[in-house]
A = this chain, B = another copy of it.
Amino acid sequence: MSPAPEVPEGPSPQKVFDMLFAYQRTAALGAAIELDLFRVIGEEPGNAASIARRCRASERGTRILCDFLAIEGLLNKNDGNYSNTQTSAMFLDSRSPASVASTAVFLGNPTIRAPFEHLAEIVRTGHTTLPGEGTVEPNNPVWVEFAHSMAPMMGPMAAPLGEIVLNGRQGPVVVLDIAAGHGLFGIEVAKQNPQARVTAVDWAAVLEVASANAKKAGVGDRYETKPGSAFDVEYGGPYDIVLLTNFLHHFDPPTCVTLMKKVRAALKKGGVAAALEFVPNEDRISPPMAAAFSMTMLAGTKAGDAYTFRELEAMYKEAGFSDVTGHPVPTGPHTVVAGYAV
């Protein structure tokens, strides 16, 4: 384990003020998405007056918002005219297939945001201020919104995950997709292998979104659902592949091991369980996005975390898996951790 690099700068209050005002960045991006500003500018760059007219907003507000986004690098500004950067054109213009605008809606959900108003208390007690299990409380409506809005953020991870779990495999495979959410990952496996059959587990209201997505993707006839808690529902099987995407981080290690034992029992011998996770290095402070995700779990859950590969490997092994491997996904901050049922 290499030590974290010393911060080289001399003392400066700049970084401190930057963090004290950081909430304005989230608010500014949220407002721009709500106003569909990046589509308006993508359709035709212009000055504040022209953009304001087309956004049905005030010129003062539009100018100050556009300048703020230019300071942040999400707009170009030249001689008073604003245009999209490559990043905003691809990920924020709502006409772009890769637009993550809906993700902003989910991440702005009060269930996700509210605990951060009480973060000192959460650090004191060690768990979320949300009732019960927090975001993973049974039938929490936040997961319906997740299913509706997080697909664009997760989309780029689907193809690599499908390739890792199928590993070139042709012919019939049966797949269990636990905590399926939008269903994207199981659906991708069904698209990559035309003989794959997928069973999705999640809360009933969430599975309606997944089923609709499966139909839209043309794999609805190979798509079944099992509504209920991943901890309680009968999985059926045996399966060749079990997907556990963005799920283990909500729970403490003993709970994860309990779940992984249930998963192993539902797998054929040699079948693979693949978790999609934020996996920080052993130093727990790199890479930044995966490591910082533990803060989201501190605020929103009772005992969840962003686990290191060693911690995940230990859980897999305790649950009876072998040959546990990690595969960083090149298209996002996630890692696929795969283990084989002994």
| A interface residue numbers (CB < 8 A to B) | 1, 3-4, 6-7, 9-17, 19-31, 34-35, 55-65, 67-68, 70-74, 76-79, 85-87, 89-92, 98, 100, 103-104, 107, 113, 116-117, 119-120, 122-127, 153, 156, 283-286, 288-289, 291-292, 294-299, 303, 305
Contact = CB atoms under 8 A, between A and B. Distances in A.
B14 A19 contact: no
> Which 4 pairs, one residue from A and one from B, show the smallest C-beta to C-beta distance?
A58-B126, A61-B123, A31-B119, A34-B120
A65 B26 contact: no
21 contacts: A4-B70, A6-B76, A7-B86, A7-B87, A10-B86, A13-B98, A19-B74, A20-B30, A21-B292, A23-B113, A28-B295, A31-B119, A56-B124, A57-B126, A58-B123, A58-B125, A58-B126, A64-B294, A64-B298, A71-B285, A71-B288
Contacts of A125: 58, 61
Contacts of A27: 23, 116-117, 119, 299
A319 B29 CA distance: 38
Contacts of A120: 30-31, 34-35
A23 B22 contact: yes
Given A58-B124, A119-B31, A64 B7 contact: no
